[in-house]
Structure 1
């Protein structure tokens, strides 16, 4: 389960504003704001979480226990 803090940090690592992030994860900007409003668990559907993870993966970011990071296998 993703947390709001993880999502917020991942977006920041990428340097994406909420508008760009919401477009890339295929969620509304209002939903992204709601997700990021808490550091705790983000109450997402499985589809919404998969969409976020997929977009982050495509951007080269993975969510790990200590926070988001760029994948080491990036070229």
Structure 2
């Protein structure tokens, strides 16, 4: 399960603003803002979480036990 801070950090690692991220994840910018404002687990449907993961992972983010980071081939 993704958290608001994880999503925010992953987006920031890519240098994406909320609009760019929301377009890539096929979500509204307002929904991204709401998700990222949560300090704990994000309240996402399975489809929304899959869309977020897909967008971030395709762009080069990997989720580790320590949190999101850029894949080494993206550095």
Q: Under TM normalisation by the shorter chain, which class is it?
A: over 0.9
Segments ≥4 residues shifted beyond 3 Å: none
1:14-52 CA deviation, whole Å, 9 max, x = no partner? 000000000000000000000000120001000000001
| RMSD, matched Cα | 1.1
Aligned residues: 74
1:1-75 equivalences under 5 Å are: 1-72=1-72, 74=73
Where does the alignment leave 5 or more consecutive residues of structure 2 unmatched?
none
Where does the alignment leave 5 or more consecutive residues of structure 1 unmatched?
none
Please report how far the alpha carbon of residue 65 of structure 1 lies from its aligned counterpart in structure 2 after TM superposition.
Answer: 2.1
Structure 1 or 2: more helix by fraction: 2
TM-score by length of 1: 0.92
